Structures are given as structure tokens and as C-alpha cells.
Structure 1
Amino acid sequence: MTDDEIARRVRRSRQWANLLDAAWGIPYTRWRFGLDSLIGILPIAGDLAGAALGLGIVWQARQAAAPRSLQVKLLGNIGLDLVLGAVPIVGDIADVAFRKNQRNAALLEKWAAQRQAATPRRA
């Protein structure tokens, strides 16, 4: 996998995370929310749909040949959000505050940056 392909997948992950977690802002606050928070309002089905949408970032990580340990960490964030989402009201607040997709995109970006820094440059 080339650095350009990995960068493209990381960019897609960031865009997806922004749509799911930070597409809209609440005026006069720093709070942002996205599609994940909106569909998470639906009991059970919304949380399952949010988890399924979050798997898009894990898919990009897998396609970028990210280490299995990173993929497990990404899945752990999704699982934690799914468990928190099972609690009424608390789950809705957790969707806005925890931002699993933003966290996962940041983890993927960090891995890609470390990978690029460790790769020797060709002259």
C-alpha cells in the first residue's frame, strides 16, 4: 500500500467521522453533533445503525493495512459507545460527548503519521 493510498483512506475516514460526529454545531457553543447523534435518538435501532456506520472507519483502516491491534482498538471504541447507547438519555449524551468516530479517525491519522515518519525517504 502506497503512502498516497493510505493518505486517501485517512482523509476519507476524517470526512466520514466529521459527518457522523461533527456536521452541525449548536449556536453560541462549542458543541457539535452529527448523524450518529441524530439516529442515536432512536432506541436500540439507532445505536445499532450508529455502530454500523462507525465500522466505515474500521474498514478504511483495514484497507490501509493498519495493524490488527489498531483495528481492535477502533472496534473497542465502537463497542463502548454501543454499550453506553443502551442506557436511555445517557446514551444520547454519550453520542455527543464521546465522539467515537472522531476518536477513531484520530487514531488512524496518528498511525499513518507514525508509519510515514518511520518509512525512509527515497532520493
Structure 2
Amino acid sequence: MAKASPIDPTTFDALPLDKSITASRQRIEAMERLLERVVVLPGINRPIGLDVMLGLIPIVGDIAAAALGSYIIWEARNLGLSKFHMARMMANVGFDAVLGFIPIVGDAADVMFRSNTRNLRIIRKHLDKHHPSTVTVEG
């Protein structure tokens, strides 16, 4: 699991807006980091992100988190992922949203079930296979 760092606004500065595959990968990784790994939860030493924070707001927060997670799916569609992979990604976001609708249990599930991280893994596997020049080394 990638290590979360304290909130650093410069992390999201200057994301490329062009349509290249490398730019899409950077935007997807930044969105996943924002949704899943913004800060570390004290006590259990587990990173959380905007997905968990929005999940604390009943109904509306879960819908907003699902909408933000759908951005990753939209980027994946633009990258040409198969319908099977798109369906898996939609199921991940949908399952996360449905879990979020359950009071208290949904909030705990948001910490444990990371749909956006799962979706990023699917996209990375596709890009590493079909576009190996976009691979970045994490330091």
C-alpha cells in the first residue's frame, strides 16, 4: 500500500490537461490519491481520503463520492479499457456507494473497501500491458 502523506496542496498542482495517455494516468492517480489517501487516520495508522470524509454525510456524501469515483471510470473509458473491465470498475464504485448508504457500517466499510484503489489497479494493469512507456517509478 502506498504511504499517505500530510495534506500538501502542491501535490495536485499542474496536472496535465492534454489527452495523452501519460497525462490521463497522472490525473487518475491524483484523483485516487485525493479520494483514498489524503491523510493518515490517527490511532489505526490507516490512510483515508475524501471518499471516507464525504461518506460521513448521509446519502448526499455517498452520492458525491460515487460521482467523483466515476471520473476515474470516465478516464478509463477514454483510455480504451474493455467493457469487462469497465463493468468491474462500475461494480466497485456501485458496491462502495451501496455500502455507504448503511449508517455506521457504511462508514467503516469506506475505510476498508477502497473502490478507487481497486479501479486504479485495473487501469495500471491495462496501461502497463498496452502502453508500457507510461509506467512511472514511485519513490
Distance 2:70 2:99 in 1: 17
Q: Which residue does 2:7 correspond to in 1?
A: none
Sequence identity percentage? 37
TM-score (normalizing by structure 1): 0.85
Paired residue type of 2:38: A
Is the counterpart of residue 53 in structure 1 residue 97 in structure 2?
Answer: no
Q: Which moved more, 1:14-23 or 1:26-35?
A: 26-35
Distance 1:26 1:90 in 2: 17
Q: What is the 5 A alignment of 1:1-123?
A: 5-27=20-42, 29-116=44-131
**Does the 8 Å CA contact 1:7/1:112 hold for their aligned counterparts?**
no
Query: Greater share of helix residues, 1 or 2?
Result: 1
Distance 2:83 2:63 in 1: 23
TM-score (normalizing by structure 2): 0.76
More contact order relative to length (CA 8 Å, sep ≥ 6): 1
- Give the SS at the match of 1:69: helix
Query: How far 1:9 sits from its partner (Å)?
Result: 1.2
Distance 1:113 1:38 in 2: 31
- Give the SS at the match of 1:32: strand
Where in structure 2 are there 5+ consecutive unaligned residues?
Answer: 1-18, 133-139
Kindly provide the CA deviation profile for residues 2-57 of structure 1, in whole angstroms up to 9, marking residues without a partner as x: xx922321221111001011111124643010111111101111111110010010
**Does the 8 Å CA contact 1:14/1:102 hold for their aligned counterparts?**
no
Distance 1:53 1:28 in 2: 27
Q: Which residue does 2:5 correspond to in 1?
A: none
Where in structure 1 are there 5+ consecutive unaligned residues?
Answer: 118-123
